Amino acid sequence: MTDVDIKIENIVASATLGKSIDLQTVAEALENVDFNREQFPGLVYKLKEPKTAALIFGSGKLVCTGAKSIEDSKRAIKLTVDMMRTMDPDIPEEFEIKIQNIVASANLGKPLNLEAVALGLENTEYEPEQFPGLVYRLDDPKVVLLLFGSGKVVCTGAKSAEDAKLGVEKTKARLAELDLI
Amino acid sequence: RLRKWQRKIRISGATERNLAFALSELDRDSSRLGLPRSVREAASMVYRRAVENKLIRGRSIEGVVAASLYAACRKCNVPRTLDEIAEVSRVSKKEVGRTYRFLTRELNIKLPPTSPVDYVPRFASELGLSGEVQSKAIEIIEMAMENGLTSGRGPTGVAAAALYIASVLLGERKTQRDVAEVAGVTEVTIRNRYKELTEQLDLGVTL
DNA sequence: GCTTTAAAAAGTAAAAT
DNA sequence: ATTTTACTTTCGAAAGC
C-alpha cells in the first residue's frame, strides 16, 4: 500500500567555507569555468564525476547542483573545495554542507485523469495550455508534486530523501482516498 | 485637515484616472480580440474587484487588465490563449499567466481548465465549417475526454484535431495547415493528436 | 522579480535531416 | 516526414541589481 519507488534525479546543496574567495584568480587558473560578474555573481565550476555544477561565490559560499545522491553531492562539494584549496591553502578542511532541495521521480502505476484530479484534489493548479503536469502542493511534508496523465510523478522541494518519498506516498494515498487512482 | 482632504482628492483623482486608463486599455484589448461587450463587462468586474482588494500593488495596470480579460474569456466560455492575450496587450505571456494565478487565488475565482469544446465555435467559423461539423467535433472531444485522451494535452490542439477529423468525416475537408493556422498550433501537433484519437477511438473512418 | 545551475515529467515548437 | 534540440512547470541556495 505504501510501497513507492522513488528515484532521486537531482540534489541541490550549499556550503559555507567561512573565508572569502578571489573568484578572478580561480577563473583565470582553470579552463572549465564560466564567470561573468555582470551576468551572475557566481563562478560556475563543472565536475564530470560526479556530474555536477558548482556555483562559487566571493563570500566563500557555494551551491552544488546535479548530483543524484546525497553522497555524490557531498563528494562533489569536497572535490570542488579541494580544487579551490590548491589555490588558497587557508580554506578550511571542515565546513558545513546543507541539502537544500531534492528532486525525485516516481510512477504511481496507473494513469491519472488530471481533469478529475483538478476538481477533487485540494491545493492544485492545472493549466494544460501551459504545462501538461498538474501542480500539487503538500503541507506535510512541505513539497510540491507534478502529476502527469501517465501516472508518472515528480516531487521537488524536499530536504531529505525520506520527505520526497513520503510526499509521493501521501499523494498516492490521498488520490486513492478520493478514488482518483 | 484641509491637507488631508486635498490628499484625498488627489488620491481619488489618481484612482479615477487609473480606472479610466484601465478601462480604455480593456476596450483596446477586447476590440482587438473581437470580444463581445458581455465579456468586457465581466473583465471590468474582475478588474474592479482587484482594485477593491488592493491587488494592483506592485503590478502594472496593463498586466491586471490582461489577466482580468483572460479570466473573463474563460469564465464566459469564449477562451483566448495566453499567447493571444499577450499579443494584443503589451504584457508578456509569462506576466499574464502569473497575474491570472494571483487574481484567481486572491479573489477566489475558481475556473476549471479550458475545455477544447469552447474553442470549437470560434475555430469552426473562422474555417467556415458547418454546425454539423462542429457537433461532430464536440462529440469527438467528449469521447476523447471520457477516454483520458485530453489529460495534459493543449486544449487548442485537441480542438484542432477534432475539427480536422470532423471536417473529413462530413465531407467538408480542410487542410491540416488551415486548421493549424486558425488554432495557433503546428501541423505536427494536429497530426499527433489525430493519430491518437483515430487509434484509440472508434471514429469509424481511416484517414 | 531577475540573473545561473541541474533534473525529471509530457506536450508543443522550431529547426535540422 | 521524422529526429534533434529546446522551451514550458516545480524547487532551493548563492550576491546583487
Question: In this structure, are A87 and A65 located in the same domain?
Answer: yes
Question: In this structure, are A120 and A146 located in the same domain?
Answer: yes
Helix (H, G, I), strand (E, B) or coil at B197: helix
Helix H or strand E segment including A62: strand A61-67
Question: In this structure, are A85 and A19 located in the same domain?
Answer: yes
pLDDT at residue number B4: 75
Instruction: Enumerate residues near strand D (beta carbon within 7 A).
Output: A 10, 12, 14, 40-42, 55, 57-59, 61, 63, 65, 100-101, 103, 130-133, 135, 137, 144, 146, 154, 156-157; B 94, 97, 188, 191
Q: Mean pLDDT per segment of 10 residues, for chain A of length 181 residues? A: 90 97 95 93 97 98 98 98 96 97 98 98 98 98 98 98 98 98 95
Cα separation, A144 vs A167, whole angstroms: 8
Question: Which of B102, B151, B156 should be substituted to probe chain A, the one whose Cβ sees the most A Cβ atoms within 10 Å?
Answer: B151
Q: Is the CB of residue A105 inside 7 Å of nucleic acid strand C?
A: yes
Question: In this structure, are A93 and A15 located in the same domain?
Answer: yes
pTM, two decimal places: 0.95
Judged by CB atoms closer than 8 Å, whether chains meet at B155 and A128 is answered as yes
Give the ipTM of the model, two decimals please. 0.94
Last residue of a domain, one of A32, A63, A98: A98
Q: Which residue's C-alpha cell is 513520503?
A: A166
Question: In this structure, are A125 and A164 located in the same domain?
Answer: yes
In a domain, A57, yes or no: yes
Last residue of a domain, one of A77, A98, A119: A98
Q: Which domain holds residue A161?
A: 107-176
pLDDT at residue number A73: 98
Whichever domain contains A167, its CATH number is: 3.30.310.10
In a domain, A169, yes or no: yes
Last residue of a domain, one of A98, A119, A148: A98
B207 pLDDT above the threshold of 70: no
Question: In this structure, are A76 and A123 located in the same domain?
Answer: no
In a domain, A4, yes or no: no
pLDDT at residue number A2: 73
- Cα-based distances in Å from B150 to A116, B77, B80, B115, B119: 11, 18, 18, 9, 14
Cα separation, B87 vs B34, whole angstroms: 13
Question: In this structure, are A139 and A91 located in the same domain?
Answer: no
Positive or negative: CA dihedral A136, A139, A141, A144: positive
Separation in Å: C7 C1' and A102 CA: 10
In a domain, A1, yes or no: no
Question: In this structure, are A64 and A87 located in the same domain?
Answer: yes
In a domain, A64, yes or no: yes
Cell of A169: 506516498
Total domain count, chain A: 2
Question: In this structure, are A93 and A134 located in the same domain?
Answer: no
- Give the gyration radius of chain A's Cα atoms: 20
In a domain, A30, yes or no: yes
Angle at A128 between CA B189 and CA B79, to 5 degrees: 90
Question: In this structure, are A70 and A28 located in the same domain?
Answer: yes
Question: In this structure, are A65 and A131 located in the same domain?
Answer: no
In a domain, A6, yes or no: no
Question: In this structure, are A116 and A147 located in the same domain?
Answer: yes
Helix-, strand-, coil-residue percentages of chain A, each rounded to 5:
25, 35, 40
